[in-house]
Amino acid sequence: MLGVDPERAGSAWRDRIGVMLQSSSLYPNLTVFESLRVFAGYYSHPRNPEEVVELVGLTEKRDVRVRKLSGGQQRRLDLGIALIGNPDLIFLDEPTTGFDPGARRTAWETVRGLRALGKTILLTTHYLDEVEQLADRVAVLRDGVSCAKGRPPSSRAARSRPRSATGATARRSSSARPTRRDASTS
């Protein structure tokens, strides 16, 4: 990953990684801006916290304490923390869980913008519309094992795919970018 074995990687390698976990524990008494400033301190060349506040759509909540944010706003702050180090490789685990439809579309535009800047993004999601919008490569996992790999269908093909009664397809998890091991076997 990034040309280095993660087990032997040092701090310079970790400086190139951004992670948004499915759930996190933020400092509840810090404001949005203070949180980003604290995490920026962990990186040698971070993004400007003011820029990241705007990027994740929390400008109006800049000075609000984390404990007063809604669940979706906390997820946006989680995304900001993943981006604050200006990473080359970004892991996003269920990034839009808890987002309203407008916030999801904004997050998608952020991901597209990061890809346009040459960032590599590994995205896990259960939302197939998210896969169709963002992924250029997909791996379907069952019990932690890759059972299918490929490119997502075009929007037209996706509309004709059989759906269950709830509107979801049978696939459950996918990744916008496979791991290096998956990439070498495809």
In a domain, 5, yes or no: no
In a domain, 6, yes or no: no
Q: Please say if the pLDDT value at position 163 is more than 90.
A: no
Nearest alpha-carbon partner for 97 in 61, 125, 121, 69 = 125
Tell the burial category of 82 from Cβ atoms under 10 Å away from its Cβ (0-12, 13-18, 19+): buried
In a domain, 2, yes or no: no
Nearest alpha-carbon partner for 82 in 112, 113, 54, 121 = 121
In a domain, 3, yes or no: no
Nearest alpha-carbon partner for 104 in 83, 75, 124, 67 = 75
In a domain, 150, yes or no: yes
Q: Please say if the pLDDT value at position 170 is more than 60.
A: no
In a domain, 19, yes or no: yes
The pLDDT mean for the chain works out to 80
For the domain that residue 70 is a member of, what is the CATH number?
A: 3.40.50.300
Angle at the Cα of 57 from the Cα atoms of 55 and 58, rounded to 5 degrees? 110
d(CA 32, CA 81): 10
Q: What average pLDDT does this structure show over 153-177?
A: 40
Q: Please say if the pLDDT value at position 130 is more than 60.
A: yes
In a domain, 85, yes or no: yes
Q: What average pLDDT does this structure show over 45-73?
A: 93
DSSP code, position 31: B
d(CA 121, CA 134): 10
- Alpha helices, DSSP H only, in 26-83? 32-40, 49-55, 71-83
The pLDDT assigned to 35 comes to 97
* Residue 108: domain span: 11-185
Q: How many structural domains are present in the chain?
A: 1
Confidence of residue 154 (pLDDT cuts 50, 70, 90): low
Confidence of residue 180 (pLDDT cuts 50, 70, 90): very low
For 106-166, list the strands marked E by DSSP.
120-125, 138-142, 145-150
pTM (2 d.p.): 0.72
